[in-house]
Structure 1
């Protein structure tokens, strides 16, 4: 069963159409289509997932939530996933976007800027074209194996900040990526190359004209960034979230230049005049993916898993109650077969209980 998840934000520069009541929510609703696309009223609808309602009436809602729906794998070639923004009080449909499931590459995180090309743009904020920002991931029950790759994926489970912070006013979000050459990645960031800054935003106009809008480059020097949910409370952000990096995207290519990069941002970065436009991060954690780490993962007991304790957050002004720079805990799992999703970490904190010498000092491996 493919799973769908999303993180939603509405562009405040292009508010929702005005309704009498003003409240809004999103609905993620795939349904069966066969020949005639207009089958919303048929009996072949899939599952539905709904976000919470905004806390107050607004034309620029931000949800920051993940919702999931399921559909039969054998039907995914004929089905669409539909994103709707609805008025809570009278159920008016404010926005609607329809995406064919078959266009989306499995397990790739798409960060979309959605807009209807048929809606004319206006200079006035009252009539500007609405835009919806959403991350969509299509998942299968099994991780695919790719020819020429010894492993299928690398899963990284991020727990949270270890010690309370004294100068962090907001929850934090994390952008995680695996880059093939960290030195080149930092040089591109210094030149402010758009591909190395924040998320890769894909503009998508409706109706969709070409499936090329969903094409994914085979190699990316900036990796394929993934966005976490907001972690709180501000004084001790916790995420308890997994990031999955596929082998075909270079996630399992351990080398002397590759690295896992975690960038920490204030959750207010998804708001403002340009949603998902991230400035300077609050801090960065970097873990080189060298052959030593690979041997540590594959020669341990049990599953190909490793726990890393107190990975430093560097390039930061954040301070803990002890006056030190903060640290985070995370776990790795190297997947070597077409495993079921149920075999992944899935928001747990795995540890075999064996005491050993970790890469960053003594810890559990």
Structure 2
């Protein structure tokens, strides 16, 4: 039966979005603009019709807007006359890959009392049309007369403060949505030929597709376009960027390019000693200094030694100024227990540099073989690319003849200044959380554990849609950075990121009763804007470190459990009270197993 259902990219689809009502945080005159987005496809072939218009009455556009409503009571619900929007999506617009993310962008605009004046944008929200990773789940086996999903919900409108791009609530929309095959009999023939019209450009007699074809930016997927040879040139780098696209990896003893370089730095000894924060760790740098804290997770595709043997790798960390002055590394890792092209470290190193010259300096990460001191690969990361106090999760890639797929180093980097900036809107700079240790021994140890912490604005939905799903990943987004010339765009921190801005810890040991002693700082403007609200929470998820680095990627999946603390007004009052000004300790925080509702163990933690 599955074979009788066409794949998603072979379907002409209808996306119905009905705005049931709206409520804004301030009285005034408002209207909404809705637009369907697919960055890899453009807007070719999309059309929209309002309310219950007949097939054939749609407009050949990818966006439409409501009428104007006036809210005079802050507690009142507003309804629109133009409230139901049906977007017709051509074949190929939705695809089963990692690039064609189709979503609805809903923007709210406020109009001044003077009707002749132009309105300004006050907020926005997004709805993922395809693929769906949370409710409503999509039924890809749905037949022609069935819905792929049919759902009602409430969508929060967020407004952005221009000063520091801080997002705050400005209203909410109650909606009903459905996604299904196009069931219009009359207009279906014109809808289906739209993708083929993209290929033969000499067909000027078809006016609707041709003008839209000119407006569309050059699409990324080359197959639909006629001049196939030129787009194939950039194909290899695109294929190598996402780690999940590398289907296999063969450890090939290929020596490094040219004469081997040597390092004077040495690896640390005593592999069994746990790598964790120093007792003097702080979230801010010493006055007059800039600090970079680096967690080195692992690497893969490392080249072999000159004689073809596998290396026993370690990482030396220093600044470019240290390198030019022939100073030793400010920190190094230990080596794995045996030679490998796929090492795993999970160790932290702190690097200090003068604040005055930090913008022109760089972080040097050198992977070398411990016995021979042969340099395997080196990465030079400009400091000015890093946003202060943001925890970057990086995949550093460097291609060479010895490693055609690219030698890849996985690291988490935090740039620290001597002062935490404070936005005038908030009474606080951020939330610090110190995770100590398991309170009792683990009955069935699974090895060292990495703790991933994040602030979620709506804990109940996050728990239902994410925490209780199995299997699942940690939603820790890797930023792939290609060397020797990393592009600044690789370090842009998105303002809207699925799963928030998670922070990872070092792997906790011993296995029987893990000890983290790890401190998190949640300072991002979006986290500050949503904490201490009725539904916000701190969520800590626990992942076995042994399953993080594989031959194809660095990817945290299948947590053993999670802990949560609601960050409501009671927590805020406790933290700002006189007894809690130095922090609030929480003992016996329960860890819930992800595959059931039972309690596995408990931990010590603290907030300040």
2:354 equivalent to 1:77: no
Output aligned runs, 1:216-365, within 5 Å.
216-251=493-528, 253-301=531-579, 303-316=581-594, 325-333=600-608
Q: Which one has more relative contact order, counting CA pairs under 8 Å at least 6 apart?
A: 1
2:419 equivalent to 1:137: no
Residue in 2 that maps onto 1:107:
389
Mapped partners of 2:421, 2:364: distance in 1: 25
Mapped partners of 1:247, 1:149: distance in 2: 12
2:448 equivalent to 1:166: no
Mapped partners of 1:206, 1:56: distance in 2: 28
> Does the aligned pair in 2 maintain the 1:84–1:96 contact within 8 Å?
yes
> Does the aligned pair in 1 maintain the 2:395–2:479 contact within 8 Å?
yes
Residue in 2 that maps onto 1:350:
none
Q: Which runs of 5+ in 1 are unaligned?
A: 33-38, 123-127, 334-365
Render the CA deviation track for 1:223-264: whole Å, top value 9, x for unaligned: 211111111222211111111110524147311121101001
**Worse-superposed segment, 68-77 or 87-96:** 87-96
Mapped partners of 2:466, 2:329: distance in 1: 41
Mapped partners of 2:599, 2:459: distance in 1: 25
The structure-2 alpha-carbon separation of the partners of 1:273 and 1:170, relative to structure 1 and needing over 3 Å to count, comes to: same
Q: Out of 295, 298, 323, which is 1:7 matched to?
A: 295
Residue in 1 that maps onto 2:368:
86
> Does the aligned pair in 2 maintain the 1:266–1:282 contact within 8 Å?
yes
* Deviation of 1:132 (Å): 0.8
* Deviation of 1:309 (Å): 1.2
The structure-2 alpha-carbon separation of the partners of 1:214 and 1:80, relative to structure 1 and needing over 3 Å to count, comes to: same
> Does the aligned pair in 2 maintain the 1:49–1:69 contact within 8 Å?
yes
* Deviation of 1:199 (Å): 1.5
Residue in 2 that maps onto 1:151:
428
Structure 1 outlier segments of 4+, above 4 Å: 44-47, 117-122
Mapped partners of 1:263, 1:275: distance in 2: 20
The structure-2 alpha-carbon separation of the partners of 1:45 and 1:232, relative to structure 1 and needing over 3 Å to count, comes to: closer
2:379 equivalent to 1:97: yes
2:324 equivalent to 1:31: no
Mapped partners of 1:7, 1:209: distance in 2: 20
| TM-score, reference length from structure 1 | 0.78
Residue in 2 that maps onto 1:16:
303
Q: Which runs of 5+ in 2 are unaligned?
A: 1-288
| TM-score, reference length from structure 2 | 0.48
Mapped partners of 2:507, 2:561: distance in 1: 15
Mapped partners of 2:475, 2:594: distance in 1: 17
Residue in 2 that maps onto 1:363:
none
The structure-2 alpha-carbon separation of the partners of 1:118 and 1:273, relative to structure 1 and needing over 3 Å to count, comes to: closer
How many residues align? The count is 317
> Does the aligned pair in 1 maintain the 2:400–2:406 contact within 8 Å?
no
Q: Out of 334, 349, 359, which is 1:52 matched to?
A: 334
Helix, strand or coil at the partner of 1:28? strand
> Does the aligned pair in 1 maintain the 2:297–2:347 contact within 8 Å?
no
Helix, strand or coil at the partner of 1:325? strand
Helix, strand or coil at the partner of 1:67? strand
Mapped partners of 1:75, 1:56: distance in 2: 39
**Worse-superposed segment, 154-163 or 43-52:** 43-52
Helix, strand or coil at the partner of 2:547? helix
